[in-house]
């Protein structure tokens, strides 16, 4: 495990030096500031509007970070031949993937926490109530973001970065769809709809911006179960990624 942690720290240093990370982080902060600058015109519910769209903006930032951080890590390591000496002695393929994933996940989590605090500061500066569940709602988006990171790593082992992004986005959209929407999209193949609903996570589990915005209490047990649900799917996707990576020819 020491090798994984050390490699994760190397990954954090590498990712935080990239302009992609800082670009997505700043664009998301600007989007949150733009939401906060929308005039209320004395219309009630402006605070709820900011919470709702703020959490949506954080979710989109998490998706962009997952793609921007992880889609080209393995292709770049392979192209520069960095991966060969790493796997020759100090790391196994599983340790390589877990180190890269852990580093990217910590960078993504730090960005989401900064965005959450920024949203809370904007709400307080505008004189609106800061929901107590704002942080737990963001932590659920962290669980969703880790799953998306695992998906991006999985795709990176058998697709190119330009193809990785649309595939991840397509999977993200499908996971957002209800059974009725999937049935309308894939008409004539109910077995495929059932398989997709069985294999893919239901992203609505991680989205509680509506009850948070309206002050509806969410039980602590829900946060715990939803987080466990997300981390279980993350482990599932990482297992698939490891299985693909172990069989991949690096030459």
Find the mean pLDDT for residues 1-28: 88
Q: What pLDDT was estimated at residue 215?
A: 80
Taking only the tens place, the pLDDT of each residue in 143-193 is 999 999 999 999 988 888 888 999 999 889 888 887 778 777 777 777 787
Phi, psi of 168 (to 5 degrees): -65, -40
The pLDDT mean for the chain works out to 86
User: What span, in angstroms and rounded, lies between the C-alpha atoms of 181 and 167?
Assistant: 19
Q: What pLDDT was estimated at residue 192?
A: 81
Q: What pLDDT was estimated at residue 251?
A: 66
Does the pLDDT at position 40 exceed 60?
no
> What pTM was computed for the model?
0.89
Q: What pLDDT was estimated at residue 89?
A: 67
Q: Among 35-49, 134-148, 163-177, whose mean pLDDT is lowest?
A: 35-49
Give the burial class of 145: count Cβ atoms within 10 A of its Cβ; 0-12 exposed, 13-18 middle, 19 or more buried: buried
Q: What pLDDT was estimated at residue 232?
A: 94
Taking only the tens place, the pLDDT of each residue in 182-235 is 777 777 777 787 788 788 888 889 988 888 888 888 888 999 999 999 999 999
In the chain, % helix, strand, coil (3-state, to 5) comes to 80, 0, 20
> Above pLDDT 70, what percent of the chain?
95
- Residue 191 CA, distance from chain mean position: 28
């Amino acid at each position: 495990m020491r090798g994984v942690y050390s490699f994760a720290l190397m990954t954090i240093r590498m990712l935080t030096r990239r302009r992609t990370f800082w670009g997505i982080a700043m664009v998301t902060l600007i989007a949150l500031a733009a939401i906060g600058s929308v005039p209320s015109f004395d219309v009630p519910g402006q605070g709820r509007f900011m919470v709702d769209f703020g959490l949506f903006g954080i979710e989109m930032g998490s998706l962009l970070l997952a793609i921007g951080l992880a889609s080209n890590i393995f292709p770049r390591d392979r192209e520069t031949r960095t991966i060969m000496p790493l796997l020759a002695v100090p790391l196994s393929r599983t340790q390589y993937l877990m180190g890269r994933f852990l580093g990217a996940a910590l960078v993504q989590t730090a960005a989401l926490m900064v965005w959450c605090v920024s949203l809370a500061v904007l709400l307080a500066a505008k004189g609106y109530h800061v929901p107590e569940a704002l942080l737990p709602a963001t932590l659920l988006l962290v669980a969703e973001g880790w799953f998306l990171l695992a998906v991006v790593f999985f795709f990176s082992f058998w697709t190119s970065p330009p193809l990785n992004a649309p595939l991840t986005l397509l999977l993200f959209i499908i996971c957002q769809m209800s059974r009725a929407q999937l049935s309308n999209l894939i008409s004539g193949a109910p077995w495929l709809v059932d398989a997709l609903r069985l294999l893919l996570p239901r992203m609505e589990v991680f989205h509680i911006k509506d009850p948070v915005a309206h002050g509806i209490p969410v039980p602590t047990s829900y946060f715990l179960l939803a987080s466990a649900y997300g981390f279980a799917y993350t482990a599932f996707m990482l297992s698939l990624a490891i299985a693909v990576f172990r069989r991949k020819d690096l030459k």
